[in-house]
Amino acid sequence: MYPIRDFLNRSVVDFEWVDLDEVNDIPANKLDVIRNAGNYPTVEFPDGVLVCNPTLEEVAGHLGWINKPTYQEYDLSIYGAGPAGLSAAVYAASEGLKTVLIEKSAIGGQAGTSSLIENYMGFPQGISGAELAERARQQALKFGVEIVLLQEGINGTFYDNKIHVNLTDGSTLVAKANICATGVEYGKLNLPHEERFLHKGIYYGAGASEACFCHGKDVYIIGGGNSAGQAASYFSGFARKVFMVIRKGNLSDTLSDYLVKRIAGISNIEVMYHSEVKELEGDDILGRIKIFNNKTLTETWHDTSKLFICIGGNPNTEWAAANDIIRDVNGYLITGSNLLKFPEFQASWKLDRLPYHLETCVPGSFAAGDVRFNSVKRVASAVGEGAMAVTQVHQYLATI
């Protein structure tokens, strides 16, 4: 159920979530259909169609969002529709490049899961990540970008001055240049039972769509970065109490100053310093967690059915494993002058010029945003890099 709620929430689709076990005003004949199907959740679309336990593809399909690329070849293919990819799409299409944007999940990337982005210029009251992403999506469509949702670039090969990318549906997308803006994904705890409780008490990321199910509950958030801080602030408006579980002895090393102050001022948030979650227990859903204090070396059990994991992520660059794209030991894409330190770059780069600032070791293949080695990990910088990458795409295209 969570993936559907999360997808709709991040896609800024209004919906009502009805628990069949609670009093509700669903007509009896419709209730019978749903109960007889016995396969929840059931989604009723605006045209009245009921679909039992749909996949995300089915939901997106019914909303008219599943499109296939219309051309065989594009000037530019962009992978990832977070802030970097969306910004690149807007600038590329507005400057006349035939552009396709591929997104494996929901538009907006990590930013789309943020309840309130308060440090993005131009929005003094803040803006929800989903709304910012929806505005960018509309802007990109206005300029003629093709957006292909729920498709993933799984590997790419480079020949004839073009990138050929295999997508999950088996098709191949060809473009003269590409921008990889695939961002990062939250890390896992790697604890026993973590998979079993996924979406049944354990959620990766800030999970804003889950907030209304946290009324009166004790919510635990692991992580001390801005995403965890924002989540704590947001959930405090719903939960009985919010516990931020952090390894370190302070928040100021990892959290923006405005969030440190905000959290200190919210009475139902408690920061558990020097703390690490070590065990997960429960029956069908998560029931309790064991927290180890790395200062006092003590362990305590805490009852909870809501644990949000907002710890440092891993870059989405598995697609690069099978080709010659140079990454650092953690998988981040290396671009520009940082490539000069790599002996394999010296051996493979054949051009007279050096790579542009956001260009990888393959001419015409660029990286922007969080996926790039040494990137800033902020919405504004991802947006800036998306725009900058497009300028460098133009420079590259002028040379081929």
Binding site for ligand FAD (CB under 6 A): 79-85, 102-105, 109-111, 113-114, 117-119, 152-153, 181-184, 205-206, 226-227, 230, 316, 319, 369-371, 377-380, 382
Element (H, E) at 43: strand 42-44
Q: Say how far apart CA 204 and CA 188 lie, in whole Å.
A: 8
Q: Say how far apart CA 376 and CA 62 lie, in whole Å.
A: 37
- In sequence order, the 6+-apart residues with CB closer than 8 A to the CB of 354 are 336, 337, 340
Which is nearer to ligand FAD, 74 or 79 (by Cβ)?
79
Q: Say how far apart CA 200 and CA 212 lie, in whole Å.
A: 15
Min dist. Cβ of residue 141 to ligand FAD (A): 17
Which is nearer to ligand FAD, 10 or 176 (by Cβ)?
10
Min dist. Cβ of residue 104 to ligand FAD (A): 4
Which is nearer to ligand FAD, 110 or 236 (by Cβ)?
110
Min dist. Cβ of residue 124 to ligand FAD (A): 14
Which is nearer to ligand FAD, 31 or 141 (by Cβ)?
141
Min dist. Cβ of residue 346 to ligand FAD (A): 28
Min dist. Cβ of residue 310 to ligand FAD (A): 7
Q: Say how far apart CA 125 and CA 32 lie, in whole Å.
A: 45
Min dist. Cβ of residue 391 to ligand FAD (A): 17
Q: Say how far apart CA 189 and CA 142 lie, in whole Å.
A: 41
- Contact indicator for 387, 87 with CB cutoff of 8 Å: yes
Min dist. Cβ of residue 387 to ligand FAD (A): 12
> DSSP code of 12?
T
Per-residue b/e over 14-38, b at no fewer than 16 CB within 10 Å? Answer: eeeeeeeeeeeeeeeeeeeebeeee
Q: Say how far apart CA 323 and CA 8 lie, in whole Å.
A: 35
Min dist. Cβ of residue 56 to ligand FAD (A): 12
Handedness of CA 370, 376, 377, 383 (dihedral sign): negative
Which is nearer to ligand FAD, 34 or 180 (by Cβ)?
180
Indicate the burial class of 357 (C-beta count within 10 angstroms; 0-12, 13-18, 19 or more): middle
Which is nearer to ligand FAD, 282 or 369 (by Cβ)?
369
- Contact indicator for 335, 358 with CB cutoff of 8 Å: yes
Which is nearer to ligand FAD, 293 or 314 (by Cβ)?
314
- Contact indicator for 257, 280 with CB cutoff of 8 Å: no
Min dist. Cβ of residue 316 to ligand FAD (A): 4
Token pair recorded at residue 271: 């920061």
Indicate the burial class of 352 (C-beta count within 10 angstroms; 0-12, 13-18, 19 or more): exposed
Which is nearer to ligand FAD, 43 or 154 (by Cβ)?
154
Closest C-alpha to 293, from 248, 258, 336: 248
Min dist. Cβ of residue 369 to ligand FAD (A): 2
Question: Which amino acid type is present at position 267?
Answer: S
